[in-house]
Each structure stands twice: as C-alpha cells, then as structure tokens.
Structure 1
Amino acid sequence: MPDTYEKLLEDTIEIDAPTDKVWSLVTDVPRMAKWSPQVVRSTVKGGVVREGATFTNLNKQGFKRWPTGGKVVRMNAPSATTPGEFAFRIRENHTVWSFHLEPTATGGTRLTERRETPDGISKLSLMLTKVVLGGQDGFTKELQDGIRQTLERIKAEAEGV
C-alpha cells in the first residue's frame, strides 16, 4: 500500500477579536468538540492544558467512532505584537495539529489551523483510513473541510456571533 497522503493540510481565517481571546478558545481542548466536526469529546489528563499535557479524543465519521490520544508539544501564547502557536501530536497516526495566531494591524487575529506529518503517518492509520474511513482521498477532503468548519466556528465564537 503506497503512503499517499497530503503532507500538509491548512487553512486560515481572519477573526475580529484580539489574539488573547482567540488563544483562550483554541487552547481549551475540552471545548474542541464544539468547533471540530470530527471530535465528539476531549478529556485532558489532570484537567490542565499546558505543554506536555496529554488528552484523549473520541472522534467520529458518520456512525463510526474511534479514540485517539494527543500530547501538547508546543504552547507559546501570543502577545499584541507577536504570534503564538498551540500544537499537539496524535499518538496513533503521528500527525501534528496546530493553531497559529497572528495579531493583525486592526487588533484582530489571523488564525491558521494545520495538520502536518513530519514523521509520516503510521502504517496502521493508513490501512484503517483505507479500509474503514473511505480511503485517503475522501478522508483528506473531510479533514480539509473540517479545518474550515473549525475555523469558522471559532471565529463565530470569538466574535460573539
């Protein structure tokens, strides 16, 4: 089975809210189910989100459900003039998901969500994606669409819409 997958998925949105407000949303791992169409539930071990913290997710696709484990690998809060980043690595497939926050000249935030594969994707995850989740192309499209939906929902929350 060839390891054919997109090495980088990302999208960006402009939010009319300061970076500290957006930061408080993207680092609230238990609330991610409110924004991400794939996440059913997230639970942080010990309840505190910090670099090194671990968490479990319950994910979904239609009626299918599966657990994953994550670990916060970068947590650099933004300021009014410097960007910030929140990133976590998924144990089962080795992907790194991140949110990059940049302050804009108007006092808002440019938010980018990324899924990167610096160490590839595990063979088990590639096989399960092929057999259970509809194949790499379809699942990649779902992930890309999910990134857009997540960003739009975070924007609506941050702007109070």
Structure 2
Amino acid sequence: MDLHDHVTIAASPATVWALVGDLTRMAEWSPQVDSTRLSDAGTTAEGTRFTNRNVHGELAWITHGEVVRHEPERHLAFRIEENWAVWSFALEPAADGGTVLHQRRTTPEGISPLSLELTEGYLGGLDAFTDTLRTGMRTTLAGIKASAEGAPR
C-alpha cells in the first residue's frame, strides 16, 4: 500500500534539503525512528547504506536501508531491506518562495513476507500499522516544518 502526505514550509528548498538530506537527523522528527547510523563516511549520497533503530511502544528493532535516489534540493529516496518499502522526500518550490515537501512510502515489490508476519504478530496488524505510519508521516512532516521555519518543537 502506497502512502503520501505533504506540507508547505515557509523556507527555501535549500533550507529544507539541509534537514531531510541528512538521514541522521530523522530521529528528531519521526516517532518511529530512534536513531540512524550511516555505514559510509558520514555523508548521504546514492548508494549510502545505513541502519535505523526503530521503536513502537515497547518494541525496538533494527532495519537496514540504502539510498536509491539522491538529488540535492529535489529528491531523496531509500529502500528498507527488511520490508522492501521505499521511503522518499520530494521538494518542490512553492509559489510564495517556500517549499512543498512530499513524503511517500511505496512498495513497488510488495511487502516482504517476513515484514507482513511481524506486522500481524507484533504491530497490531497491517491496517493498524498502516494507520500508525500515516500518523507518523504527519508528525515527521510537521517536525521538519517546525525545524525549517525555526519554530520550537
């Protein structure tokens, strides 16, 4: 199931990119990502591999990702190895000089059988966890907007 949400931010694409282009900052905004560690020399580029520590209630788990698209100030996408999902951020200039930031989760190869099994067994089932992901996207986008606009969180 593909998910999408977006927000308009009163900041330039360069300012927004400085935030979303740094995967290690995702824990600042995402309610599920607790920490991100890059496998490479500390920079994000196409092919960069990373690990996330994720949390959901009392559960915690590690996922492995790889950046599959990296276009500064335009697009960042990464694929999660364990569930096959592709998460992305797309930036487009807004008419007022700000930025429209889109966040997507696509599953072009479907969702891995292991992920489906774990979601059913530990995360409340696919429908409930999809609702959690939607809420998490809104929280993540609101956090990025607050950071980019300089508002306290």
Is 1:58 aligned to 2:53, yes or no? yes
| AA of the residue aligned to 1:117 | T
Task: Please list every run of 5 or more consecutive structure 2 residues that lacks an aligned counterpart in the other structure.
Answer: none
Task: Please list every run of 5 or more consecutive structure 1 residues that lacks an aligned counterpart in the other structure.
Answer: 1-6, 79-83
Is 1:45 aligned to 2:35, yes or no? no
Secondary structure of the equivalent of 2:63? strand
* TM-score, scaled to structure 2: 0.96
Query: Quick one: distance in 1 between partners of 2:95 and 2:132?
Result: 33
Match of 2:4 in 1: 10
Match of 2:66 in 1: 71
Residue 113 of structure 1 is aligned with which of 103, 117, 125? 103
Query: Quick one: distance in 2 between partners of 1:128 and 1:105?
Result: 43
Match of 1:95 in 2: 85
Aligned length: 150
Match of 1:31 in 2: 25
Q: 1:48, CA displacement in angstroms?
A: 1.3
Matches within 5 A, 1:138-149: 138-149=128-139
* TM-score, scaled to structure 1: 0.92
Q: Among the aligned pairs, what percent are the same residue?
A: 52
Q: 1:77, CA displacement in angstroms?
A: 1.8
| AA of the residue aligned to 2:37 | T
Runs of 4+ in 1 over 2 A off after TM superposition: none
